Each structure stands twice: as C-alpha cells, then as structure tokens.
C-alpha cells in the first residue's frame, strides 16, 4: 500500500472515533481557560495511544510529542479547544448539555481531527524522521491561549520548525482543503474613547459643553480615518460599536463613551490608523471645547501564512486528494485568530477545512446558535494533517 492509501484508509476507519470525540466535547462545551473536561478527554486518548504529553500549558493546554524513526525536523499541529457563550438551538442528539455554552465555531472538531491524526502518525512513526508536536490550545476565542503557551515554552524542547492548523468552515464543501500564502487573518485592536464636556441645563447650552454633539462630530469624522488616511489597497476597518452618554433629556451630557474595533493586515497600517484616530479626536474635541481620552488595546496580530510552506502543503494535499481536493482561499478575512503568535515565531500556515456537506448554503454561519458541521469533513482533515506532517518531516529540500 502506498503512503497515501495507508493514510486515507486509516483516516476513513477513524471517522467513528473522531465523531465520538467531537460529539462528547460538543455536549460538554467549555469557554476559554476552563477546558478542563476537554483537556481530560485529550489526555485520556493520548494515554490510550501511548503518546507522551504534558498538560497544564496555559492552564488547560496539552502538548504531546510523537517521535519518528530518527533525528530530524519538528512540525507542530495545532487545534484550539474552547467553546462560546451561546445557547445552542440545534435539535440534535449531541446538543450542548451545558446551557449558555456551545461549540459554535467547530473547535470540538479541531480537537477530534487532531486526535485522529495523532493516531495515524503514531502508527506510522517508522515512516518519518524528526517529530510531530501536537498543540491542544485553550481560549482562541479570547483572551488567547497561543501566546501564553509559547511563553511557557511549547515551541522548545524540541524546537518546533513550523506549525500548521485547520479551521473548519461550513461555507466550503466537505473534505476540501483551502490553502494560500500571505495574510489570512487581520490584526484586531479594541478602541475606547471617552469624550468629556461640561454638563448643565439643557435650556442654557451656552453655559455647557455638549459631549453628545462632540461625539456626533467625532463619529462622523472617524469615518474618514480608513477612507481618507489609508491606502485603498490596504484592507482596514474602524467600527464604532457602542455609544453611551447622557442621563436625562433636559441635561447637557458631560461625558460620552465610545467603543469599537480596529482591524488591519499590516502593522504599519495599524500605526497609521491609531495616529489618525488621535488626530481626529484632538481636532474635533478642541473645536468644541471638550477633552478626550483614548485607549487602544492591541489584540491578536495579523496571521501571515508562509508562502513557501503554503506552496509545499498545497502540493502534498493535491498529491493526496487530487486537484479537486484543494481550493484557493482567494482573500483574507478581517476576523482574528491567535494562531498569529505561532506564525510570528516560525514559518506557519493556517488552512481551511470544508465541512459544509454538498450544499454549504443550508448551514448556519460560525458563532450562530444553529451552527453545525458535516462531521465527514474530519476524514480529510485527519488525512491532510498526517500527510503534510510526514512529507514535511521527510522533505530534505532547504
Ligand atoms: Zn470563532
Ligand atoms: Zn474558531
């Protein structure tokens, strides 16, 4: 049997195993840094496979190591583990048993797929040099588990040369694997602005400084930050999501608080946006006699896929599944992903895995209370992980 046949046949056989794990985790969803039960399921399965691991990375994370036939490179395979605060509305036998929590992003399938791949790789240790490190990572949805795991040393002993990960997507047909080089997810910042004027009687506006009027001008002027200060070929978003101010209809509001999100792909664009926001707020508040305070909290950085590695992975996926098994992700998303921290450390690639059946239009989007997947997609996820890991480790080029 060829390597491809071995991998594909075994991944198909493992479908029920992966489905069982996915459903078990789906029924017991846990939010970021509380994935204790999930972590327990992972450790139990690694124990059964006889794969050594260390748990407790960033509280609930698990790092396992599958060593090959001899010395060589090390590749990291990453799966995030956390669920969301959401009431599941699906009427399925594996519906969430924890009210108010739900695996609405598919991270349950990520864990199951990685355990499937661990099984295949462990059985084929005599077919590759070096080692495979498995990263089961908490809190992707926030506040982020990748950064603390890296700080706690998950990329060393042995040193990891590259990291790859899948995100399931029910907008793509089942089993397809999407890969592209370059930017794939945006950097995300939280923006908080406080505008202060001077309160007073609504009937004597001349004696006060109306923070609501300043806010109205500020919000309008902030619309020019992206449209007038940023190169139109550089994607960027500035959204003001909340506005709070005023206490009563006959009182001039003394304070207004705005909050929003900033998204961009290049750090230099982020710097320009920050600068433009400060300039606009400075000018607008001065013009009306008020003052302001800005707080920008930098969240996950942008994810950049390594182009050379992406090309190689694409070749291996096509070799495994044929040209129809691969699709080109033609554009990045302005969503954020803390896989970014792995990608900033070593050449890394974040890929898509289709779980949308034959007709993705019937599925609800990620983070919806009716989100679900076609579990059969996990087969190619498992096979893809195994194939790419083995080929990477045996690839002596460069
Ligand atoms: Zn999500
Ligand atoms: Zn997700």
Q: Round to whole Å and give the CA distance between 397 and 127.
A: 17
| Distance (Å) from CA 105 to ligand 2 centroid | 5
Please give the pLDDT value at position 396.
Answer: 86
Tokens of 173: 């047909």
User: Which DSSP helix (H) or strand (E) runs through 164?
Assistant: strand 162-169
Q: Where are the alpha helices (DSSP H) in 35-83?
A: 36-49
| Distance (Å) from CA 366 to ligand 1 centroid | 6
Please give the pLDDT value at position 330.
Answer: 82
Q: Round to whole Å and give the CA distance between 36 and 130.
A: 30
Q: Which domains are delineated in the chain?
A: 3-185+302-394 (3.40.630.10), 187-298 (3.30.70.360)
Q: Round to whole Å and give the CA distance between 159 and 51.
A: 18
Taking a 5 Å cut-off on Cβ, the residues next to ion ligand 1 are 105
DSSP state of 209: B
* Position 329 confidence tier, pLDDT thresholds 50, 70, 90: confident
**Strand partners of residue 328:** 179
| Distance (Å) from CA 109 to ligand 2 centroid | 10
pLDDT in tens, 126-147: 999 999 999 999 999 999 999 9
User: Which DSSP helix (H) or strand (E) runs through 190?
Assistant: strand 187-196
Please give the pLDDT value at position 398.
Answer: 57
| Distance (Å) from CA 395 to ligand 2 centroid | 30
Name the average pLDDT for the chain. Answer: 97
Active site residues: 300, 375
Give the DSSP letter string of 294-310: EEEEE-S--EEE-HHHH
Q: For residue 351, say if its preceding peptide bond is cis, omega within 30 degrees of 0.
A: no
pTM score of the predicted model: 0.93
pLDDT in tens, 266-303: 999 999 999 999 999 999 999 999 999 999 999 999 99
């Amino acid at each position: 049997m060829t390597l491809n046949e071995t991998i594909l046949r075994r991944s198909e056989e493992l479908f029920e195993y992966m489905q069982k794990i996915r459903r078990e985790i789906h029924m017991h969803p846990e939010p970021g840094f509380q994935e204790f039960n999930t972590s327990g399921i992972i450790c139990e399965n690694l124990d059964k496979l006889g794969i050594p691991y260390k748990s407790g990375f960033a509280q609930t994370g698990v790092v396992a190591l599958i060593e090959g036939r001899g010395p060589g490179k090390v590749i990291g395979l990453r799966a995030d583990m956390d669920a969301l605060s959401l009431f599941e509305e699906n009427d399925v036998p594996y519906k969430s048993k924890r009210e108010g929590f739900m695996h609405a992003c598919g991270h349950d399938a990520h864990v199951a797929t990685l355990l499937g791949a661990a099984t295949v790789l462990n059985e084929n240790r005599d077919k590759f040099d070096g080692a495979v490190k498995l990263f089961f990572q908490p809190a992707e949805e926030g506040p982020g588990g990748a950064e603390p795991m890296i700080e706690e040393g998950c990329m060393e002993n042995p040193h990891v040369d590259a990291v790859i990960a899948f995100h399931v997507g029910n907008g793509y047909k089942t089993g397809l694997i999407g890969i592209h080089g370059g930017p794939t997810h945006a950097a995300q910042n939280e923006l908080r602005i406080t505008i202060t004027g001077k309160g007073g009687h609504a009937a004597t506006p001349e004696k006060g400084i109306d923070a609501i009027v300043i806010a109205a001008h500020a919000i309008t002027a902030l619309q020019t930050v992206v449209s007038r200060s940023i190169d139109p070929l550089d994607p960027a978003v500035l959204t003001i999501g909340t506005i709070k101010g005023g206490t009563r209809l006959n009182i001039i509001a003394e304070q207004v608080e705005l909050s929003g999100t900033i998204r961009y792909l290049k750090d230099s664009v982020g710097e320009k946006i920050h600068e433009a926001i400060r300039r606009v707020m400075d000018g607008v508040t001065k013009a009306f006699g008020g003052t302001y305070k800005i707080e920008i909290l930098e969240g996950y950085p942008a994810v950049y896929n390594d182009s050379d590695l992406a090309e190689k992975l694409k070749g291996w996926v096509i070799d495994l599944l044929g040209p129809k098994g691969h699709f080109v992700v033609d554009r990045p998303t302005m969503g954020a992903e803390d896989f970014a921290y792995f990608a900033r450390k070593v050449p890394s690639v974040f890929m898509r895995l289709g779980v949308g059946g034959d007709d993705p239009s019937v599925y609800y989007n990620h983070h919806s209370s009716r989100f679900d997947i076609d579990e059969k997609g996990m087969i190619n996820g498992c096979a893809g992980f195994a194939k790419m890991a083995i080929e990477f480790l045996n690839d002596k080029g460069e």
